[in-house]
């Protein structure tokens, strides 16, 4: 067996804690350090038995570091990713990869110059159902893809947050934070370059100043069309459209859902941060009995359709309606590590590269421009 890849985690909040079970279970990776400046959060990392540093610059004392996983607030991604690449480490950066396209370009350029890999994830195109849909499309089982539609209805706006998570200029709001997943899924399934973007963005609650909902229409060069609909204002839940299955593959009937509303937003930023840190420990479970559902995704081809089911997919084509059960033994983050291992060892394709993530950012910026001018925006590739 090849020697394990040494990885350090930078920022030990919700995203990083969700990754820990996958890293611990994967013999190809060995966690060697954590960087986390907040004392209340550091204590969650101490039981891991690796050094817990205060600052990313402390990582220079770690011998033989192959790469870092950046799970810090989005405004830190560009500067930290570039610094790590320049130190000679590969980088896995959380989505959205940066606050804007120019930061994304600088990151991709640093990866190229330093000859180190930049990967963006976790995003929901890593999920088993989306990967299986992609394979069914590639095998031609529903003909040519005509439309892919993704609908999400959540309480995103009212979950506990740091202030910058609501600011679009800092990579916040549902367009950057959640649209990053939707656009990722739509691009994976339409399998072409986006030609034009038309969008409307909604900032509906003056007490929670953010882009909390959007409707985005993407026109692809191969003729496919796609929509990303997101409403994060805590009304209807997408789980009502997905047989009560949650984003992370749990059954959550209406009476068992933790659902944030405008009335529950904490009074002060400190209280809100404390609530976020408490929620981070268990917000994203590592195993699930059903498949993850990032809202409802429906693919329509010239010869059939595909939608998700709790256990997998329903394919409707000339052969009839066929339900395909997918395995649940690998979580979305196990699948990120599978791609990461191949990438860092220089084997296999690097789907979720910095360039891939940059294209998602370009589409988010085009959506902002389209919403501002009220017209379709042409993307130049």
Write out the binding residues for ligand NAD, residues 98-137 only, by CB under 6 A: 122
User: Of residues 26, 28, 72, 168, which one binds ligand NAD by CB under 6 A?
Assistant: 72
CB of residue 161 to ligand NAD, shortest distance in Å: 8
Q: Which residue is nearest to ligand NAD (CB)?
A: 13
Regarding 8 and contact with ligand NAD (CB under 6 A), the answer is: no
Q: Are 185 and 363 in contact (CB under 8 A)?
A: no
Regarding 183 and contact with ligand NAD (CB under 6 A), the answer is: no
CB of residue 281 to ligand NAD, shortest distance in Å: 10
Q: What are phi and psi of 4, to 5 degrees?
A: -65, 150
Regarding 152 and contact with ligand NAD (CB under 6 A), the answer is: no
Q: Are 67 and 92 in contact (CB under 8 A)?
A: yes
Task: Specify which residues 71 forms β-bridges with.
Answer: none
Q: How far apart are the first and last CA of the chain?
A: 41
User: Of residues 68, 76, 142, 148, which one binds ligand NAD by CB under 6 A?
Assistant: 76
User: Of residues 14, 22, 128, 228, which one binds ligand NAD by CB under 6 A?
Assistant: 14
* Closer residue to ligand NAD (CB): 177 or 350: 177
User: Of residues 116, 117, 159, 177, which one binds ligand NAD by CB under 6 A?
Assistant: 177
| Alpha carbon of residue 253 to chain centroid | 24
Strands of 320-325's sheet, edge to edge?
320-325, 312-317, 304-308, 296-301, 145-153, 225-231, 213-220, 194-202, 377-378
Alpha-helical segments (H) within 1-100: 14-25, 39-45, 77-86
User: Of residues 9, 12, 360, 361, which one binds ligand NAD by CB under 6 A?
Assistant: 12
Q: Are 126 and 332 in contact (CB under 8 A)?
A: yes
Q: How far is CA 79 from CA 74, 157, 185, 191, 363, in A?
A: 10, 27, 27, 31, 22
User: Of residues 35, 216, 229, 358, which one binds ligand NAD by CB under 6 A?
Assistant: 35
* Closer residue to ligand NAD (CB): 137 or 213: 213
Contact window for ligand NAD (CB under 6 A) among 23-31, 37-45, 201-209, 259-267? 37-45
Contact window for ligand NAD (CB under 6 A) among 72-80, 225-233, 236-244, 358-366? 72-80
Question: Which residue carries 């966690």 as its tokens?
Answer: 31
**CA angle centred on 324, ends 320 and 325, rounded to 5°:** 155
How many angstroms separate the CA atoms of 351 and 135, rounded? 14
* Closer residue to ligand NAD (CB): 26 or 300: 26
Residues 6+ apart with CB under 8 A from 232: 152, 154, 155, 156, 157, 174, 178, 212, 213
User: Of residues 110, 166, 280, 368, which one binds ligand NAD by CB under 6 A?
Assistant: 280
CB of residue 60 to ligand NAD, shortest distance in Å: 14
* Closer residue to ligand NAD (CB): 50 or 324: 50
In this structure, the number of other CB atoms found within 10 A of the CB of residue 107 comes to: 26
CB of residue 332 to ligand NAD, shortest distance in Å: 8
User: Of residues 94, 103, 334, 339, which one binds ligand NAD by CB under 6 A?
Assistant: 94
User: Of residues 26, 28, 74, 343, which one binds ligand NAD by CB under 6 A?
Assistant: 74
Regarding 38 and contact with ligand NAD (CB under 6 A), the answer is: yes
Strands of 67-70's sheet, edge to edge?
52-53, 29-35, 5-10, 67-70, 90-93, 118-120
Regarding 162 and contact with ligand NAD (CB under 6 A), the answer is: yes
Q: What are phi and psi of 180, to 5 degrees?
A: -55, -40
Q: Which helix (H) or strand (E) holds 219?
A: strand 213-220
User: Of residues 71, 110, 114, 137, which one binds ligand NAD by CB under 6 A?
Assistant: 71
CB of residue 373 to ligand NAD, shortest distance in Å: 27
The residues of the shown chain that bind ligand NAD, judged by CB under 6 A, are 10-15, 35-38, 41, 56, 71-74, 76, 94-95, 122, 162, 177, 276, 280
């Amino acid at each position: 067996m090849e020697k394990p890849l040494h990885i350090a985690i930078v920022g030990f909040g919700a995203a990083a804690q969700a990754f820990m079970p996958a890293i611990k279970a994967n013999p190809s990776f060995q966690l060697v350090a954590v960087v986390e400046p907040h004392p209340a959060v550091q204590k969650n990392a101490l039981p891991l038995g690796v050094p817990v540093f205060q600052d990313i610059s402390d990582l220079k004392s770690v011998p033989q570091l192959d790469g870092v996983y950046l799970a810090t607030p989005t405004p830190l991604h560009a500067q930290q990713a570039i610094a790590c690449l320049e130190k000679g480490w590969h980088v896995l950066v959380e989505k959205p990869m940066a606050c804007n396209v120019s930061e994304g370009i600088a990151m991709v350029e640093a990866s190229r110059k330093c000859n180190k890999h930049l990967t963006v994830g976790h995003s929901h195109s890593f999920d088993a159902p989306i990967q299986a849909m992609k394979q069914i499309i590639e095998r031609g089982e529903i003909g040519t893809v005509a439309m892919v539609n993704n609908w999400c209805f959540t309480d995103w706006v009212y979950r506990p947050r740091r202030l910058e998570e609501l600011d679009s200029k800092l990579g916040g709001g549902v367009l950057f934070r959640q649209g990053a997943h939707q656009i990722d899924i739509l691009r994976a399934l339409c399998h072409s370059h986006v030609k034009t973007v038309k969008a409307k963005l909604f900032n509906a609650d003056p007490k929670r100043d953010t882009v909390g909902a959007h409707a985005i229409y993407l026109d692809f060069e191969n003729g496919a069309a796609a929509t990303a609909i997101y409403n994060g204002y805590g009304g209807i839940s997408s789980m009502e459209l997905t047989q009560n299955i949650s984003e992370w593959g749990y059954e959550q009937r209406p009476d068992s859902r933790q659902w944030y509303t405008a009335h529950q937003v904490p009074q002060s930023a400190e209280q809100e941060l404390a609530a976020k840190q408490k929620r981070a420990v268990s917000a994203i479970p590592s195993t699930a009995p059903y498949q993850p559902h990032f809202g409802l995704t429906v693919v329509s081809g010239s010869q059939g359709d595909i939608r998700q089911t709790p256990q997998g997919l329903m394919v409707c084509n000339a052969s009839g309606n066929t339900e395909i059960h997918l395995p649940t033994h690998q979580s979305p983050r196990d699948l990120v590590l599978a791609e990461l291992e191949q990438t860092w060892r220089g084997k296999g394709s690097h789907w979720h590269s910095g360039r891939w993530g940059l294209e998602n950012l370009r589409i988010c910026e085009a959506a902002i421009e389209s919403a501002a001018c009220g017209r379709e925006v042409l993307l130049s590739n």
